Amino acid sequence: MAEQGSPLEQLVAAVRASARYRHVSAGFIARIGAQELAKRPNLKAAIKATKDRLHQVGGAYRGTRPDYQASLERLRGAFRGNLSDLRPLCLEIMRTHASTRERLPVLAEFYGSIFDALPPVRSVLDVGCGLNPLALPWMPLAPGAAYYACDIYEDLVAFVGEFLGLVGVSGGAWVCDVLGEVPRQKVDVALVLKLIPCLEQIDRAAGRRLLDGLNADHLVVSFPAQSLCGARKGMPATYEARFRELMEGRDWRVRRFAFSSELAFLVSK
User: By three-state DSSP, how is residue 22 classified?
Assistant: coil
Work out how close the CB of 41 gets to ligand SAM at its nearest, in angstroms, rounded to a whole number: 26
- Residue among 43 and 261 whose Cβ is closer to ligand SAM: 261
Contacts of 27 (CB under 8 A, 6+ apart): 177, 180
Residues that bind ligand SAM (CB under 6 A): 57-58, 61, 99-100, 128-130, 132, 151-153, 176-179, 193-195, 198-199
Question: How far apart, in whole angstroms, are the C-alpha atoms of residue 50 and residue 46?
Answer: 6
| 180 beta partners | none
Residue ranges of alpha helices (H) inside 26-172 are 26-39, 43-54, 60-62, 68-78, 87-94, 98-101, 107-116, 154-166
Q: Give whichever of 37 and 125 is closer to ligand SAM, judged by the CB atom.
A: 125
Cβ closer to ligand SAM: 36 or 151?
151
Q: Closest Cα to residue 263, out of 197, 200, 207?
A: 197
From the CB of 22, what's the least distance to ligand SAM, in Å?
Answer: 14
Q: From the CB of 226, what's the least distance to ligand SAM, in Å?
A: 12
User: Taking the complex as a whole, how short is the minimal distance between the CB of residue 126 and ligand SAM, in angstroms?
Assistant: 7
Residue 47 vs 223, nearer CB to ligand SAM: 223
